[in-house]
């Protein structure tokens, strides 16, 4: 049974049984405390916790998930996969234990011919929570399971919580017996390798508090509404139904494994170590493909870092299989073909996805090359110093800064006869992970428990009136101070205010929040920020500037009209720039992020190379032509499918509901799904002036522009600057660039002549410096100040020439000068002096300490400096004393 067929049977069954079929949410989680959708229940958390009223009594879905906690275990077991798909059915106060058990049993045991999954009843076992007599009774009653195949387990295995105070409840898990060749008999409690969990039913019925650990908490009562949260792993069911050993061998994953085998010339199943590498490749390519399809792009932080790590582990695994050339064009295309039946967007968006994948592989192959050079140098230094191990901090630097895998570092070091201080490396990795954990905890603490919004959201969605109105009368539904609801906030306090209606725009879609005020009887609030902490609810962060604001009082939101108008200009201009980019570069130039604020726009788009000046001018001209043409800006609210059918662009990083708002500027030329505020006609934008274009990643570019009055002011400043230059240089405007180029060339030539003259002057000083040579202990010493110099290079040149003149007898040259107001000292030794114990690096450190700075170098030549130029004579005296003491 194909993986896609299993998913279809699941969804068809629950749709037939009255469930609303919900499309998968993005892998990019809405929850700011987690980067990815790590479990099937994540998109439903607002409904399960009651913060947001559920829009349907029951639902079913196939949810895409990414989990990277066990990334090092991928490929080693049958269970660990980075990307996986969870089939779930959900009840929000509709059916409970008996219904959930009945649905699960019927679907699992109904024959394939009748649309079920066709599991043999005798192979199915169940676990229930140790105190859940009701669940055990229902399994016997509904499914006819004998008591011998129902096992009771404790909180560690069969109790679900969020880890926080709130909803919780016992679980019941369904296992399939894979047979005696996979382990011993005795049910899941005896062997969870032979008995494999395929479905978990969570009976969310209690409220808990005082959570001390996963198993230590207090049950404080029943939930007012009992929910069902179930999850069945699609990959697990697939490898059982397909009769293969693990998820890597199923129809959606195995093709990549086979293609990697063909490319490498190595056979899967022939070597245990290679088999792990093949499975890592198959998993990571599919996971990277799905992340790219949801708009994640490779970077050095956050989600992008996880994606980059997956892709680089793939390259590393192919290298260990003997393949050093690029393979992503073939591997990713293979994964696309295996997955597109369930995710057709992989094919329609293939150009963008493949561009990122190919660019990232090319970048990492270059990194491997440069990292190898850095590592070779480190290995060489370690061997010269007669060390047997490479320092852990060097290995960590290669890993953390250059993305160079530790196993590759160990491999190359081993080939050179060195070990790696793995203990020190692992210690640095632990410190880094701990910092990451603390950062994640800090981010969690910084976000108020969304449960605080539950009672406000229960009163309905906040009505946004700002598309048509800049002032709206409403009433205060709630006041929150320091994360807790209060009855009022007084002058000077920072608070969150929840209103029934608002004209103030909440930050979203790249557009920053409105500025403005909220006023009411006896009080005034300055609006600092406007956000949507949970779906459907708008929260205003305010400072109470006058009086006090309390729950239930009247409130009027007043938008800063000037700021709003400028923000609208910028947002509409962003749409025009996007359309102009696609007009000029093609459909591959799709949005990867944006920021719109009053007078300014920033637009990131997928593109692999810098734009030429001519291209930037063309984009700017097309966008401004659209402004000149006074195109009508219209909006429609319609279903997502209708909008897509009309050609509207659904942008990555955005979340869309069943109904969407489509913004047209001049008809289909610019048609996007957008919840932002816009001008009525394009001419209201005024001017769009591109001020920058830069790289923001291997395959992303960024353009920045000023809009409207801000663009006009910038152009005025530039005009004034040009006028000033033409006057100062007495050159017509159209000849200004040539005149500046001529002056620049003349300046460079003059600087070159000056440098040559200074070099001649310095060279003339060599004889006089040689003449100052005097005996100091066992060596001849030249220690002198050379006054003001152009740079440290001048002093270095003098030192080396003087050393050359002193011949082969033991000699040390120490010269110090002042460059750009700061002292610099350079010391050189010849071979005979080094044999007598004179080391330039040690002597420079002696001098630099006196100068109030530091320095270093090799035994034959070293350089240092400091802060106090007046200490140069004392520094040279210190060098003389050190040489005499040899």
What tens digit of pLDDT does each residue of 95-111 get?
999 999 999 999 999 99
Q: What confidence score (pLDDT) does residue 359 get?
A: 86
pLDDT digits (tens, 9 = 90+) for 703-759: 999 999 999 999 999 999 999 999 999 999 889 999 999 999 999 999 888 878 877
Q: Which of 524, 516, 633 is nearest to 568 (CA)?
A: 633
Query: Which pairing describes strands 779-789 and 83-92: parallel, antiparallel, or unpaired?
Result: unpaired
Mean pLDDT calculated for residue range 364-380: 75
Mean pLDDT calculated for residue range 271-288: 94
498/545 Cα distance (integer angstroms): 17
Q: Examine the pLDDT at 861 and tell me if it is beyond 90.
A: yes
Q: What confidence score (pLDDT) does residue 12 get?
A: 96
551/444 Cα distance (integer angstroms): 27
Instruction: Look at residue 753 and give its three-state secondary structure.
Output: helix
Strands, E, within 261-360: which ranges? none
Mean pLDDT calculated for residue range 577-584: 94
CA atoms within 13 A on the CB side of 569: 25
CB 15 within 8 A of CB 21: yes
Q: Examine the pLDDT at 799 and tell me if it is beyond 50.
A: yes
Q: Examine the pLDDT at 321 and tell me if it is beyond 90.
A: yes
Beta bridge partners of 335: none
Q: Is 571 annotated as a binding residue?
A: yes
Mean pLDDT calculated for residue range 66-77: 80
Q: What confidence score (pLDDT) does residue 443 get?
A: 42
119/112 Cα distance (integer angstroms): 9
Q: What confidence score (pLDDT) does residue 452 get?
A: 86
Q: What confidence score (pLDDT) does residue 772 get?
A: 92
Q: What confidence score (pLDDT) does residue 497 get?
A: 96
The continuous run of DSSP H or E covering 588 comes out as none
Q: What confidence score (pLDDT) does residue 303 get?
A: 87
Res. 442 pLDDT band, cuts 50 70 90: very low
Q: What confidence score (pLDDT) does residue 444 get?
A: 42
C-alpha distances in Å from residue 633, one per residue of 582, 593, 624, 660, 680: 19, 22, 15, 16, 5
Query: Which pairing describes strands 779-789 and 811-819: parallel, antiparallel, or unpaired?
Result: parallel
Q: Examine the pLDDT at 60 and tell me if it is beyond 70.
A: yes
DSSP character at residue 683: G
Quote the longest CA-to-CA distance of the chain: 109
CB 748 within 8 A of CB 754: no
Q: To the nearest whole number, what is the mean pLDDT of the chain?
A: 89
Mean pLDDT calculated for residue range 630-644: 90
Q: Which of 464, 471, 594, 455 is nearest to 531 (CA)?
A: 464
Q: Is 171 annotated as a binding residue?
A: no
Following CA atoms 540, 545, 551, 554 in sequence, which dihedral angle do they give, to the nearest 10 degrees? -90
Mean pLDDT calculated for residue range 341-370: 86
Res. 278 pLDDT band, cuts 50 70 90: very high
DSSP character at residue 678: -
Which of 167-176, 258-267, 400-409, 527-536 has the weakest average pLDDT?
400-409
Q: What confidence score (pLDDT) does residue 395 get?
A: 81
- The first and second tokens of residue 292, run together, are 């790219």
Q: Examine the pLDDT at 548 and tell me if it is beyond 90.
A: yes
Which contacts of 376-381 are long-range, i.e. CB under 8 A and separated by 24 or more positions?
376/412, 379/412, 379/413, 379/416, 379/418
The continuous run of DSSP H or E covering 214 comes out as none
Place of tokens 């004034």: 720
Res. 531 pLDDT band, cuts 50 70 90: very high
Q: Examine the pLDDT at 448 and tell me if it is beyond 50.
A: no
* Choice between 382 and 699, residue whose per-residue pLDDT is larger: 382
CB 28 within 8 A of CB 2: no
Mean pLDDT calculated for residue range 505-532: 95
Q: Examine the pLDDT at 854 and tell me if it is beyond 90.
A: no
610/631 Cα distance (integer angstroms): 30
529/541 Cα distance (integer angstroms): 5
pLDDT digits (tens, 9 = 90+) for 20-41: 999 999 998 877 668 899 888 8
The residues, ordered by sequence, that sit 6+ positions from 312 with a Cβ below 8 Å of its Cβ are 364, 403, 405
Mean pLDDT calculated for residue range 577-593: 89
728/225 Cα distance (integer angstroms): 79
Q: What confidence score (pLDDT) does residue 372 get?
A: 66
Q: What confidence score (pLDDT) does residue 18 get?
A: 95
Q: Examine the pLDDT at 446 and tell me if it is beyond 50.
A: no
The residues, ordered by sequence, that sit 6+ positions from 808 with a Cβ below 8 Å of its Cβ are 830, 831, 832
Q: Examine the pLDDT at 450 and tell me if it is beyond 60.
A: yes
Q: What confidence score (pLDDT) does residue 79 get?
A: 65
Res. 415 pLDDT band, cuts 50 70 90: low
Which of 11-15, 402-406, 568-572 has the weakest average pLDDT?
402-406
Q: What are the phi and psi torsion angles at 215 (to 5°)?
A: -110, -5
Q: Examine the pLDDT at 439 and tell me if it is beyond 70.
A: no
Q: Examine the pLDDT at 313 and tell me if it is beyond 90.
A: no
Sequential DSSP letters for 113-157 = GGTS----GGGEEEEEETT-HHHHHHHHHHH---GGGEEEE-HHH
Q: Examine the pLDDT at 326 and tell me if it is beyond 60.
A: yes
Q: What percent of the chain has pLDDT over 70?
A: 95
Q: What confidence score (pLDDT) does residue 29 get?
A: 83
C-alpha distances in Å from residue 357, one per residue of 117, 277, 699: 36, 19, 9
Q: What confidence score (pLDDT) does residue 698 get?
A: 62
Q: What confidence score (pLDDT) does residue 438 get?
A: 62
Instruction: Look at residue 870 and give its three-state secondary structure.
Output: helix
Mean pLDDT calculated for residue range 46-59: 88
pLDDT digits (tens, 9 = 90+) for 751-767: 888 878 877 777 788 89
Q: Which of 563, 558, 561, 570 is nearest to 679 (CA)?
A: 570
Q: Is 678 annotated as a binding residue?
A: yes
Q: What percent of the chain has pLDDT over 90?
A: 62
* Choice between 148 and 656, residue whose per-residue pLDDT is larger: 148
The residues, ordered by sequence, that sit 6+ positions from 714 with a Cβ below 8 Å of its Cβ are 689, 691, 706
Q: What confidence score (pLDDT) does residue 370 get?
A: 67
Which of 5-9, 169-173, 881-885 has the weakest average pLDDT?
881-885
């Amino acid at each position: 049974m194909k993986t896609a067929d299993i998913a279809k049977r699941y969804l068809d069954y629950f749709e037939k049984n009255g469930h609303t079929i919900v499309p998968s949410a993005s892998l990019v989680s809405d929850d700011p405390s987690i980067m990815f959708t790590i479990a099937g229940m994540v998109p439903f958390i607002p409904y399960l916790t009651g913060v947001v009223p559920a829009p349907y009594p029951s639902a079913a879905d196939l949810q895409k998930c990414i989990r990277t906690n066990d990334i090092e275990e991928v490929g080693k077991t049958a269970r660990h996969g980075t990307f996986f798909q969870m089939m779930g059915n959900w009840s929000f106060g509709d059916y409970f234990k008996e219904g959930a058990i009945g649905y699960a049993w019927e679907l699992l045991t109904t024959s394939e011919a009748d649309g079920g999954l066709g599991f043999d009843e005798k192979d199915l076992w169940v676990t229930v929570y140790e105190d859940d007599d009701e669940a055990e009774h229902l399994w016997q009653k509904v499914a006819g399971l004998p008591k011998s195949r129902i096992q009771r387990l404790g909180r560690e295995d069969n109790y679900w919580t969020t880890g926080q105070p709130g909803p919780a409840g016992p679980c019941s898990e369904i296992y399939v017996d894979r047979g005696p060749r996979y382990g011993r008999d005795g049910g899941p409690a005896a062997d969870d390798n032979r008995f494999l969990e395929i479905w978990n039913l969570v009976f969310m019925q209690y409220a808990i508090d005082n959570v001390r650990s996963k198993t230590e908490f207090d049950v404080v009562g029943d939930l007012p509404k009992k929910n069902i949260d179930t999850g069945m792993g699609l990959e697990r069911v697939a490898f059982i139904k397909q009769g293969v050993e693990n998820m890597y061998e199923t129809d959606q994953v195995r093709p990549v494994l086979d293609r990697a085998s063909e490319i490498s010339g190595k056979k899967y199943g022939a070597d245990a170590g290679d088999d792990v590498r093949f499975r890592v490749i198959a998993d990571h390519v599919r996971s990277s493909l799905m992340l790219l399809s949801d708009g994640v792009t490779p970077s050095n932080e956050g989600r992008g870092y996880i994606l980059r790590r997956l892709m680089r582990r793939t390259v590393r695994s192919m290298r260990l299989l003997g393949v050093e050339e690029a393979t992503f064009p073939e591997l990713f295309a293979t994964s696309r073909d295996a997955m597109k039946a369930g995710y057709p967007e992989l094919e329609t968006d293939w150009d963008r996805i493949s561009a990122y994948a190919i660019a990232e592989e090319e970048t990492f192959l270059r990194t491997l090359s440069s990292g190898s050079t850095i590592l070779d140098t480190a290995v060489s230094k370690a061997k010269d110093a007669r060390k047997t191990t490479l320092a852990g901090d060097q290995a960590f630097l290669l890993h953390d800064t250059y993305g160079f895998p530790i196993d590759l570092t160990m491999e190359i070091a081993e080939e050179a006869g060195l070990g790696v201080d793995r203990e020190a490396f692992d210690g640095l990795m632990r410190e880094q992970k701990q910092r990451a954990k603390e950062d994640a905890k800090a981010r969690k603490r910084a976000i108020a428990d969304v449960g605080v919004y539950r009672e406000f959201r229960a009163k309905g969605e906040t009505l946004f009136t700002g598309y048509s109105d800049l002032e709206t009368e409403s009433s205060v539904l709630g006041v929150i101070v320091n994360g807790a609801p209060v009855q009022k906030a007084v002058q000077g306090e920072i608070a969150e205010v929840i209103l029934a209606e608002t004209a103030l725009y909440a930050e979203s879609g790249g557009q920053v929040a409105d500025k403005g005020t909220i006023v009411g009887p006896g009080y005034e609030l300055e609006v600092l920020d406007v956000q949507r902490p949970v779906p459907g609810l708008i929260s205003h962060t305010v400072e109470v500037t006058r009086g006090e604001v309390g729950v239930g009082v009247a409130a009027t939101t007043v938008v800063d009209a000037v700021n709003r108008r400028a923000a609208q200009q910028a947002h509409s201009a962003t749409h025009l720039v996007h359309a102009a980019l696609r007009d000029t570069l093609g459909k591959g130039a799709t949005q990867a992020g944006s920021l719109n604020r009053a007078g300014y726009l920033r637009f990131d788009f997928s593109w692999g190379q810098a734009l030429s000046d001519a291209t930037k001018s063309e984009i700017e001209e097309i966008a401004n032509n659209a402004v000149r043409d006074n195109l009508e800006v219209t909006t429609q609210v319609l279903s997502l499918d209708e909008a897509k059918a009309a050609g509207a662009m659904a942008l990555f990083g955005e979340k869309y509901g069943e109904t969407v708002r489509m913004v047209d500027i001049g008809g289909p030329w610019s048609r996007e799904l957008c919840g932002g505020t816009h001008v009525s006609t394009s001419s209201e934008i005024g001017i769009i002036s591109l001020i920058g274009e830069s790289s923001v990643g291997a395959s992303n570019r960024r353009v920045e522009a000023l809009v409207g009055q801000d663009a006009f002011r910038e152009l005025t400043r530039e005009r004034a600057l040009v006028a000033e230059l033409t006057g100062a240089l007495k050159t017509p405007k159209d000849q200004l660039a040539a005149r500046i180029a001529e002056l620049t060339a003349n300046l460079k030539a003059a600087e070159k002549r000056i440098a040559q003259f200074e070099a001649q002057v310095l060279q003339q000083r060599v004889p006089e410096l040689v003449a100052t040579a005097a005996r100091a202990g066992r060596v001849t010493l030249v220690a002198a100040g050379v006054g003001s110099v152009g740079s440290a290079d001048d002093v270095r040149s003098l030192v080396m020439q003087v050393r050359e003149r002193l011949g082969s007898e033991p000699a040390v040259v120490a010269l110090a000068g002042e460059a750009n107001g700061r002292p610099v000292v350079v010391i050189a030794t010849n071979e005979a002096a080094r044999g007598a114990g004179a080391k330039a690096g040690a002597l420079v450190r002696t001098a630099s300490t006196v100068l109030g700075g530091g320095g270093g170098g090799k035994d034959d030549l070293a350089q240092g400096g400091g802060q106090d130029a007046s200490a140069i004579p004392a520094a040279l005296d210190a060098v003389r004393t050190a040489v005499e003491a040899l």
